[in-house]
């Protein structure tokens, strides 16, 4: 049936209406970019709003006694403060004052005396005094979340006056200051607020959407999966910032995050971009790139419960096959450097914990010849970590060349953390592209990665002698014992410290003071220490 | 009608029970440990064990399932291991965004499908171009359409926003509706701008599927004797179509539309991730990798219920369109 003239007129009219609607939609409202300027650049905000994109939701409520995940530390460290912290802008781990201005430790590492800062108030107006120390520790123990272990060793907290807190431990612990300085360490919370909002769950419902901190910012919006907003606390004791509001929108797809950064709709991204995008952002004139030190690392762990790696000789042969320098530079670029120590970078003074594996691929080639043809093995990586995926693929290619029927396999986070319960369900080897200890003390590294009671010894490759050395060294801080523990663990062949990871931060050019605002322990920025370039 | 509704309700209960049983069974079969999401990935085995006990996840699975069903009957779908909030509250918070996106996408899909079918059945000038573009768009997966749309309309042209929904301050959290209710043109336009790209990305494939079925139906009906008779009697073409063709062609298209609407609720996961649309798709996508089974079960129940309701509505509409069909 051919259309009549009336039908043709109606069709034309409909098209015209559709066209007008499209024009109206694109002309009205904000359109797309929030800032002026050419694509790829943005002007500094005149309204004091800093917008930083989060790659994925923070994963848990922003409650300092619950939060034990990753990018939400950006909120915790800007809203809450502990007694001490890691020094901002430093390239190595250094304990620095925060709400304690000075401290002393007795010879036995059992009594820690803190002299507290005057003139500090919590966001609810409650003055900060020594009463907050015990209350905050008690709340952490009551909630009993992942980071509760940091105060589990506290016997009591004495408060001889309003600005002195004396913490006595049940056992000697030379790492206690590092526990307190950790981004997951106990933060001071308003005791008035804790009592007022305790409810039936020790303030957990309240602190999922609000805060009881003393930091430079208050948590004003906490919309899971959408956005978190911080507003400058006017009564803050420390450095004030030109940014009165910090918006942290959640991006669930990194491509969208990159587009927003390219268009200037967000001011920066911290530890959020894949290494494969480095060349793009290093060639973009509108942004600044920073590669800042962290405690994080890329690790390789082998599974002794699988037949391929049952023998120590097999594990050592595999580790010797890894061309660490080439693997790290090829995949991670400037975001990492090959690791040369068994602990994290700088944890043992002078690098006495040297990793002595040595690159010699002939050992694995010889070992592979002794195996039945097409012996299968799996190299695993966490899905979502593109660097680990690439490293796993390169390792697999090398194994295939040696005649091993290797394959790379991705695993979800939940699957990875189920392996300690049953290592036989895991792969033969696992490339952990990005992980790190809770703090800068060697105990916090060794315990968590090498002790099956620590949490991230994925395949339970455990040596009781190493655990005993670590526990003993924790009491005394004996560096020699830490080194011995590391060397003993290294001899198991279950572990290789692949790379010291850096925090790749990309910001619009007008954001200043980024390296000084960065914290080595948290991989995040102190927003109140950022500035705006005067040249903008 | 009442007996039809009662039969459907009974079937719905059975289906939802089966769905929850499958999800609970999957907990046992899949290797993930959701308790780690609750306490944090780096938590010690002791902390994980303590949390498992606190959450009563150390009891046998049948006991957990029975407890879950009992609480579900009282509107309590458990606590999300990730957000630490009640799953019911989480879903209540995220669902309006998905509902708005899917309903708008469905409306766009139906309009595009009708245009596709009519342009083919009654030979509208330029119709082949429209059908070709729709066919091309439908061959691309939604995530590719979404990313392509972002690159073109956001990054290069700067016409449309890349993410989010706009100003969500209204009582219904359906921002288009809230904008209309409050007579807030800015809110309405902002919401529409944010909706265009994700809605189109989600709508194109269903539009083609519905459109092809509708066109085939139209072609079949147009060739029938009663339509020839109507033309022979001198009725205008538009009257022939309106009175004798449309209603007789609707049956298969309604079935396909119902099916596609169900698929859209499932397909929304990818689109919401691309556009940072804060709906249950994103909620589910964040829950699956960390094995947050209470959240997964809650969303499964919701989507299952929606599918059941949609199919029931389609059956009623088909009966209304064709009196020969009895419910």
* Min distance A461 CA to chain B CA atoms (Å): 15
Q: Hey, is A352 helix, strand or coil? A: coil
CB contact under 8 A, B291 and A412: yes
Q: What is the pLDDT of residues A262-286, one digit of tens each?
A: 999 999 998 888 888 999 999 999 9
Tokens 């919006």, residue located? A221
Tokens 């109140």, residue located? A528
Identify any residues that bridge with B39 across adjacent strands, giving them in sequence order.
none
| Residue B290 dihedral angles phi and psi, to the nearest 5° | -105, 10
Of A292, A194, A231, nearest in space to A75 by CA: A231
* Range in A95-99, A289-293, B55-59 with the lowest mean pLDDT: B55-59
Transcribe A469-502 into DSSP letters. HHHHHHHH--HHHHHHHHHHHHTTT-EEEEEEEE
B124 interaction partners in chain A (CB closer than 8 Å): 3, 7-8, 11
Q: What span, in angstroms and rounded, lies between the C-alpha atoms of B140 and B201?
A: 9
Residue B12's pLDDT is what? 83
Q: What is the pLDDT of residues B119-141, one digit of tens each?
A: 887 767 777 888 888 888 888 89
Q: What is the pLDDT of residues A208-253, one digit of tens each?
A: 999 999 999 999 999 999 999 999 999 999 998 899 999 999 998 8
B296: pLDDT confidence band, cut at 50, 70 and 90?
Answer: very high
Which residue of chain B has the CA closest to A66? B39
Q: What span, in angstroms and rounded, lies between the C-alpha atoms of A292 and A288?
A: 13
**Which of A225, A255, A438 is nearest residue B42 as measured by Cβ atoms?**
A438
Q: What span, in angstroms and rounded, lies between the C-alpha atoms of A63 and A72?
A: 10
A262 interaction partners in chain B (CB closer than 8 Å): 155
Q: CA-CA-CA-CA torsion for B276, B277, B281, B285, nearest 10 degrees?
A: 20
Task: Classify residue A421 by its DSSP letter.
Answer: G
Q: What span, in angstroms and rounded, lies between the C-alpha atoms of A184 and A180?
A: 8
Contact A83, B312 (CB under 8 A): no
* Min distance A382 CA to chain B CA atoms (Å): 10
Instruction: Give CA angle at A347 (A345, A350), nearest 5°.
Output: 85
Q: What is the pLDDT of residues B37-84, one digit of tens each?
A: 888 878 888 888 999 998 888 888 889 889 988 998 888 999 999 999
Residue to substitute from A25, A225, A418, interface B, most B β-carbons within 10 A: A225
Task: Label residues B297-320 b or e (16+ Cβ within 10 Å = b).
Answer: bbbbbbbbebbbebbbebbbbbbe
Any idea how long chain A is? Answer: 536
CA distances from A241 to A199, A231, A235, B234, B253 (A): 34, 11, 12, 79, 60
Q: What span, in angstroms and rounded, lies between the C-alpha atoms of A248 and A101?
A: 31
Residues 6+ apart with CB under 8 A from B279: B94, B95, B97, B98, B101, B268, B272
Transcribe A113-173 into DSSP letters. EEEEPSS-B-TTSPBP-THHHHHHHHHHHHHT-GGGHHHHTEEEEEEEETTEEEEEESS--
Q: What is the pLDDT of residues B99-124, one digit of tens each?
A: 999 999 999 999 999 989 888 877 67
Q: What is the pLDDT of residues A484-534, one digit of tens each?
A: 999 999 999 999 999 999 999 999 999 999 999 999 998 899 999 999 998
**Which of B84, B94, B160 is nearest residue A60 as measured by Cβ atoms?**
B84
* Range in A370-384, A442-456, A486-500, B172-186 with the lowest mean pLDDT: B172-186
Would you say residue A17 has pLDDT above 80? no
| Residue A374 dihedral angles phi and psi, to the nearest 5° | 60, 35
Residues 6+ apart with CB under 8 A from B198: B101, B105, B146, B271, B272, B274, B275, B277
Contact A521, A93 (CB under 8 A): yes
The mean of the pLDDT values for chain A is: 91
CB contact under 8 A, A25 and B192: yes
Q: What span, in angstroms and rounded, lies between the C-alpha atoms of B226 and B105?
A: 35
Residue to substitute from A66, A153, A226, interface B, most B β-carbons within 10 A: A226
Q: What span, in angstroms and rounded, lies between the C-alpha atoms of A177 and A84?
A: 7
Of A446, A475, A444, nearest in space to A105 by CA: A475
Which residue of chain A has the CA closest to B190? A29
**Which of A7, A60, A260 is nearest residue B163 as measured by Cβ atoms?**
A260
Identify any residues that bridge with A531 across adjacent strands, giving them in sequence order.
A512
Q: What does the longest C-alpha to C-alpha distance in chain B come to? A: 85
* Min distance B289 CA to chain A CA atoms (Å): 5
Q: What does the longest C-alpha to C-alpha distance in chain A come to? A: 99
A453 interaction partners in chain B (CB closer than 8 Å): 44-46
A192: pLDDT confidence band, cut at 50, 70 and 90?
Answer: very high
Which residue of chain B has the CA closest to A40? B155
Would you say residue A8 has pLDDT above 70? no
A33: pLDDT confidence band, cut at 50, 70 and 90?
Answer: very low
* Min distance B2 CA to chain A CA atoms (Å): 41
A35: pLDDT confidence band, cut at 50, 70 and 90?
Answer: very low
* Min distance B251 CA to chain A CA atoms (Å): 23
CB contact under 8 A, A25 and B160: yes
| Interface contacts A/B by beta carbons within 8 Å | 204
Q: In A376-419, which ranges are continuous DSSP H helix?
A: 386-401, 413-416
* Min distance A370 CA to chain B CA atoms (Å): 33
A28: pLDDT confidence band, cut at 50, 70 and 90?
Answer: very low
**Which of A29, A61, A415 is nearest residue B84 as measured by Cβ atoms?**
A61
Transcribe A309-323 into DSSP letters. GSSHHHHHHHHHH--
Residues 6+ apart with CB under 8 A from B135: B208
Q: Hey, is A177 helix, strand or coil? A: helix
Would you say residue A36 has pLDDT above 50? no
The first and second tokens of residue A473, run together, are 């060294």
CB contact under 8 A, B150 and A417: no
Q: What is the pLDDT of residues B255-268, one digit of tens each?
A: 899 889 988 998 89
Q: What span, in angstroms and rounded, lies between the C-alpha atoms of A96 and A93?
A: 9
The first and second tokens of residue A155, run together, are 């016997």
CB contact under 8 A, A59 and B196: no
Q: Hey, is A379 helix, strand or coil? A: strand
CB contact under 8 A, B282 and A225: yes
Would you say residue A294 has pLDDT above 80? yes
Q: Kindly report the number of other CB atoms within 10 A of residue A82's CB atom.
A: 23
Tokens 């189109």, residue located? B200
CB contact under 8 A, A57 and B189: no
ipTM for this model = 0.86
Q: What span, in angstroms and rounded, lies between the C-alpha atoms of A204 and B244?
A: 63
* Min distance B162 CA to chain A CA atoms (Å): 7
Question: Would residue A455 be called left, alpha or beta, if left means φ above 0 and alpha means ψ between -120 and 50 degrees?
Answer: left
Q: What is the pLDDT of residues A170-189, one digit of tens each?
A: 999 999 999 999 999 999 99
A536: pLDDT confidence band, cut at 50, 70 and 90?
Answer: low
* Min distance A226 CA to chain B CA atoms (Å): 6
A11 interaction partners in chain B (CB closer than 8 Å): 124-126
Residue B187's pLDDT is what? 87
Of A129, A128, A150, nearest in space to A139 by CA: A150
A383 interaction partners in chain B (CB closer than 8 Å): 289
Q: Tell me whether strands A376-382 and A405-411 are parallel, antiparallel or unpaired.
A: parallel
B130 interaction partners in chain A (CB closer than 8 Å): none
Q: What span, in angstroms and rounded, lies between the C-alpha atoms of A452 and A461?
A: 7
Residue to substitute from B51, B145, B154, B277, interface A, most A β-carbons within 10 A: B154
Any idea how long chain B is? Answer: 327
SS3 content of chain A, % helix, strand, coil (to 5): 35, 25, 40
A7: pLDDT confidence band, cut at 50, 70 and 90?
Answer: low
Task: Label residues A176-188 b or e (16+ Cβ within 10 Å = b).
Answer: bbbbbbbbbbbbb
**Which of B124, B150, B158 is nearest residue A256 as measured by Cβ atoms?**
B150
Contact A526, A88 (CB under 8 A): yes
Residue A19's pLDDT is what? 53
Of A511, A32, A37, A35, nearest in space to A243 by CA: A511
Residue to substitute from B195, B289, B295, interface A, most A β-carbons within 10 A: B289
Q: What is the pLDDT of residues B218-242, one digit of tens each?
A: 888 888 888 888 888 888 877 887 7
Q: What span, in angstroms and rounded, lies between the C-alpha atoms of B143 and B269?
A: 10
Residue to substitute from A29, A199, A261, interface B, most B β-carbons within 10 A: A29
**Mean pLDDT across the stretch A360-378?**
92
CB contact under 8 A, A2 and B123: yes
CB contact under 8 A, B30 and A415: yes
Residue to substitute from B54, B163, B299, interface A, most A β-carbons within 10 A: B163
* Min distance B305 CA to chain A CA atoms (Å): 24
Transcribe A76-112 into DSSP letters. HHHH---SEEEPBT-SS--EEESSEEEEEE-TTS-EE
Q: What is the pLDDT of residues A465-481, one digit of tens each?
A: 999 999 999 999 999 99
CB contact under 8 A, B41 and A224: no
Residue A421's pLDDT is what? 87
Of A49, A105, A339, nearest in space to A220 by CA: A49
Of A434, A534, A525, A531, nearest in space to A248 by CA: A525
* Min distance B171 CA to chain A CA atoms (Å): 16
Would you say residue B148 has pLDDT above 70? yes
Angle, helices A361-369/A312-321, rounded to nearest 10 degrees = 130
Higher pLDDT, B322 or A496: A496
Contact A503, A329 (CB under 8 A): no
Q: What span, in angstroms and rounded, lies between the C-alpha atoms of B144 and B152?
A: 12
| Residue A248 dihedral angles phi and psi, to the nearest 5° | -120, 80
**Which of B121, B153, B189 is nearest residue A29 as measured by Cβ atoms?**
B189
CA distances from A391 to A376, A496, A498 (A): 18, 13, 10
Residue B168's pLDDT is what? 80
**Which of B38, B84, B155 is nearest residue A263 as measured by Cβ atoms?**
B155
Transcribe A43-80 into DSSP letters. PPPSS-EEEEEEES--SS-S-TTT--SSTTHHHHHHH-
CB contact under 8 A, A144 and B50: yes
Of B311, B269, B256, nearest in space to B113 by CA: B256
**Mean pLDDT across the stretch A332-340?**
94
Contact A269, A52 (CB under 8 A): yes
Identify any residues that bridge with A300 across adjacent strands, giving them in sequence order.
A431, A496
Angle, helices A361-369/A386-401, rounded to nearest 10 degrees = 60
The mean of the pLDDT values for chain B is: 87
């Amino acid at each position: 049936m051919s259309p009549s003239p009336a039908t043709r007129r109606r069709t034309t009219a409909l098209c015209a209406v559709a066209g007008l609607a499209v024009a109206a939609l694109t002309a009205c409202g904000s359109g797309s970019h929030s800032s002026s300027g050419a694509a790829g650049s943005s002007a500094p905000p005149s309204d004091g709003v800093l917008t930083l994109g989060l790659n994925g939701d923070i994963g848990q409520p922003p409650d300092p006694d619950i939060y034990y995940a990753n990018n939400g530390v950006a909120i915790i460290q800007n809203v809450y403060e502990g007694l001490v912290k890691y020094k901002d802008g430093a390239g190595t781990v250094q304990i620095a004052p925060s709400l304690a201005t000075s401290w002393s430790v007795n010879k036995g590492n059992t009594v820690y005396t803190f002299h507290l800062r005057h003139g500090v108030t919590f966001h609810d107006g409650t003055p900060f005094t020594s009463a907050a120390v015990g209350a905050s520790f008690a709340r952490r123990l009551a909630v009993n979340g992942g980071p509760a272990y940091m105060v589990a060793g506290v016997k009591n907290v004495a408060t001889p006056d309003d600005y002195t807190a004396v913490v006595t431990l049940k056992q000697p612990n030379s790492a206690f200051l590092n526990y307190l300085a950790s981004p997951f360490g106990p933060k001071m919370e308003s005791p008035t607020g804790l009592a007022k909002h305790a409810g039936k769950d020790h303030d957990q419902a309240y602190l999922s959407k609000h805060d009881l901190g003393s930091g430079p910012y208050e948590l004003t919006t906490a919309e899971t999966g959408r956005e978190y907003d911080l507003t400058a606390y006017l009564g803050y004791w420390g450095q004030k910032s030109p940014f009165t509001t910090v918006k942290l929108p959640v991006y669930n797809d990194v491509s969208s995050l990159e587009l927003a950064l390219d268009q200037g709709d967000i001011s920066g991204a911290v530890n959020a971009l894949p290494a494969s995008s480095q060349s793009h952002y290093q060639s973009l004139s509108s942004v600044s790139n920073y590669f800042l030190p962290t405690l994080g690392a890329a690790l390789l762990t082998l599974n002794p419960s699988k037949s391929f790696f049952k023998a120590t000789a097999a594990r050592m042969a595999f580790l010797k096959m890894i061309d660490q320098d080439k693997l790290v530079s090829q995949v991670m670029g400037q975001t990492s450097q090959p690791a040369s120590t068994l602990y994290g970078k700088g944890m043992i003074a002078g690098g006495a914990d040297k990793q002595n594996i040595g690159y010699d691929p002939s050992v694995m080639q010889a070992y592979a010849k002794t195996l039945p043809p097409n012996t299968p093995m799996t190299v695993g990586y966490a899905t979502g970590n593109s660097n680990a995926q690439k490293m796993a693929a390169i390792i697999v290619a090398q194994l295939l060349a040696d005649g091993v029927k290797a394959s790379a396999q991705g695993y979800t986070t939940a699957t990875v953390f189920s392996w300690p319960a049953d290592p036989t369900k895991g792969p033969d080897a696992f490339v952990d592209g990005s992980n790190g200890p809770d703090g800068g003390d060697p105990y916090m590294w060794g315990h968590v990665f090498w002790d099956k009671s620590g949490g991230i010894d994925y395949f339970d490759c455990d040596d009781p002698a190493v655990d005993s050395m670590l526990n003993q060294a924790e009491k005394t801080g004996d560096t020699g014992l830490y080194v011995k523990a590391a060397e003993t663990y290294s001899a198991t062949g279950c572990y290789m410290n692949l790379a010291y990871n850096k925090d790749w931060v990309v910001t619009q050019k007008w954001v200043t003071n980024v390296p000084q605002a960065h914290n080595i322990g948290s991989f995040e920025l102190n927003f109140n220490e950022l500035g705006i370039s005067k040249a903008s | 009608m009442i007996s039809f509704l009662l039969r459907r309700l009974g079937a719905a209960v059975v289906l939802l029970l089966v769905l929850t049983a499958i999800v609970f069974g999957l907990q046992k079969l899949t290797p993930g440990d959701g308790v780690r999401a609750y306490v944090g990935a780096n938590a010690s085995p002791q902390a994980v064990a303590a949390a498992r006990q606190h959450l009563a996840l150390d009891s046998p699975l049948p006991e957990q399932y029975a407890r879950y069903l009992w609480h579900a009957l009282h509107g309590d779908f458990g606590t999300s291991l990730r957000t630490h909030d009640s799953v019911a509250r989480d879903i209540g918070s995220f669902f309006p965004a998905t509902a708005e996106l899917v309903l708008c996408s469905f409306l766009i899909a139906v309009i595009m499908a009708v245009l596709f079918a009519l342009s083919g059945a009654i030979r509208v000038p330029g119709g082949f171009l429209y059908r070709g573009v729709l066919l091309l768009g439908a061959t691309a997966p939604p995530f590719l359409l979404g990313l392509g749309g972002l690159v073109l309309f956001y990054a290069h042209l700067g016409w449309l926003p890349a993410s989010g929904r706009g100003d969500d301050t209204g009582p219904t959290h359906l921002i288009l509706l809230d904008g209309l209710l409050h007579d807030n043109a800015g809110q309405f336009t902002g919401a529409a701008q944010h909706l265009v790209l994700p809605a189109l990305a989600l709508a194109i494939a269903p539009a083609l599927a519905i459109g092809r079925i509708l066109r085939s139906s139209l072609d079949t009906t147009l060739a029938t004797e009663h339509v020839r008779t109507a033309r022979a009697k001198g009725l205008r073409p538009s009257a022939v179509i309106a009175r004798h063709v449309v209603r007789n062609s609707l049956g298969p298209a309604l079935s396909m539309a119902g099916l596609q609407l169900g698929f859209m609720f499932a397909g929304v996961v990818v689109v919401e991730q691309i556009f940072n649309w804060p709906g249950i798709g994103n909620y589910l996508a964040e829950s699956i990798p960390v094995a947050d089974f209470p959240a997964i079960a809650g969303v499964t129940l919701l989507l299952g219920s929606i599918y059941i309701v949609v199919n029931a509505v389609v059956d009623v509409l088909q009966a209304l369109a064709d009196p020969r069909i009895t419910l």
